[in-house]
Amino acid sequence: MSETNDYVIKVSNVSKDYGRHHILDSMNFTVPKGSIFGLVGRNGAGKTTIMRIISGLQKPTAGTVEYGFDHKKLGNVGALVELPSIYSNQTARDNLIFQYMNLGLKIDDSIDKSLEFVGLANTGNKKAGKFSLGMRQRLGIAMAMAGDPEVLILDEPINGLDPQGIILIRDLLIRLNQEKGVTIIISSHILSELSKLATDFAFVESGKVVKEITADDLENAGGLESEFYSGTPQQLLPVLNAMGLRTKIDEDGIIYAKGYYNLTDVVLAANAAGVNIARVVTKETDLETYFVKLVGGESNG
């Protein structure tokens, strides 16, 4: 593999059957290097299966997974698939030591740094079996991070966490991506959280990726839509355009604008231009709405 690849993983026509059950059906997607790649789909859509295939736990029935890095090098892929894989009868530190040994890494102070990074530096002799779910998830991530992997695969890492735990994991993942340049592939049922993290999305339905989209494109495709009502819409239009909003006006003089803005700034700019705004109606198309629109039915990402 060339080191100049702009992707870390390319899934091509991957299918997976369990007997007569077709779990994946010619799935295709590409994970850009340095991205946080969100896999969105209902229960049973095939998210976990494709993550297991990518992480090497399962082999596809058909199709290929190409890696844009040396995925056979020990520790180059870190994963937390389903539950964290940790020795429940060992401490957080011992768990990391075992993982380091598995990877042939030198046992040094980087273990303590990792524990500190995931906020488990003060767990002492407490066995991992007595950790809260959030602590176990963070330890699982620390273990997956051992050896500085190029790619981190996380299946439902915030499942079952309390709000505080979710925030901790989210911050941790953003730091990993931004500070260490780790590409993260993540699935989550909590789409509002996923939308705060992911830079790219793949929507999975019935074993297929039905849409791949970047966070920017998602915002453009949906984002905040507003209707501006004004007595002088033709004068308001350039004010809104000047604020970077994409606008159009209908025959009734209602201005439709797409994009995010600060309402106070818009009102002040309109006042400065001598234009009044009678009413603003906003409607935001978030990840969940987009998903429902895309696959139909109720969201159960």
Partner 1 sequence: MGNLFKCEFKRLTKSVFFWIITGFCVLWPILTAVFYHAILTLTFTESGLGFEEIELPKEVIMYLTWMIAISFITELPKFSALFTCLHLGREYTDGIVRNKVIAGHSRTRIYLVYSLTMLAANAFFCVVYILSAIFGLWISGLGFNLNGGEMFIRLGVGIVVFLSMVTIFSTLALIFRKRALPIILSIIIAMISSTTALVIGYFNMPAKAVNDYIDMRSERYEEMVDHGMLSQKIADKYEEDYDKNHYLGIGWKIFHPVYVITPIGFESDYQAATTGILFGADLEYTDEIDFSDDFVSYSYQDMSMFEHKDFKRVKSMHMSYSELNLIYLAKSFFYIILIGGWGLFIFRKKNLF
Nearest to 291 by CA among 83, 64, 47: 47
Based on CB atoms, which residue is closest to partner 1, 53 or 236? 53
157 part of the interface to partner 1, by CB under 8 A: no
Please, what is the minimum distance in Å from the beta carbon of residue 189 to partner 1?
20
Considering beta carbons, is residue 45 or 81 the nearer one to partner 1? 81
Q: Return the residue of 15, 28, 76, 199 that touches partner 1, per CB under 8 A.
A: 76
By CB under 8 A, residue 102 contacts partner 1 = yes
Find the shortest distance in angstroms from Cβ 40 to partner 1. Answer: 23
152 binds partner 1 (CB under 8 A): no
Cα separation, 294 vs 301, in Å, equals: 12
**Under the criterion CB under 8 A, does residue 121 sit at the interface with partner 1?**
no
Tell whether residue 45 is a contact of partner 1 (CB under 8 A). Answer: no
The smaller minimum CB distance to partner 1, of residues 38 and 147, is found at 147
Q: Does 77 bind partner 1 (CB under 8 A)?
A: yes
Sole binder of partner 1 in the list 44, 73, 148, 175 (CB under 8 A) = 73
Residue 280 and residue 278: Cα distance in Å, rounded? 7
Position 93 contacts partner 1 (CB under 8 A): no
**Spatial separation of the C-alpha atoms in residues 170 and 157, rounded to whole Å:** 9
The residue range among 35-43, 91-99, 164-172, 193-201 that interacts with partner 1, by the rule CB under 8 A, is: 91-99
Question: How many residues does the structure list for the chain?
Answer: 301
Among 26, 58, 159, 299, binds partner 1 (CB under 8 A): 58
β-bridge mates for residue 259, sequence order? none
One of 97, 221, 243, 273 touching partner 1 (CB under 8 A)? 97
Query: Can you give the binding site for partner 1, defined by CB under 8 A?
Result: 52, 55-58, 71-79, 81-90, 94, 97-99, 101-104, 143-144, 147, 153
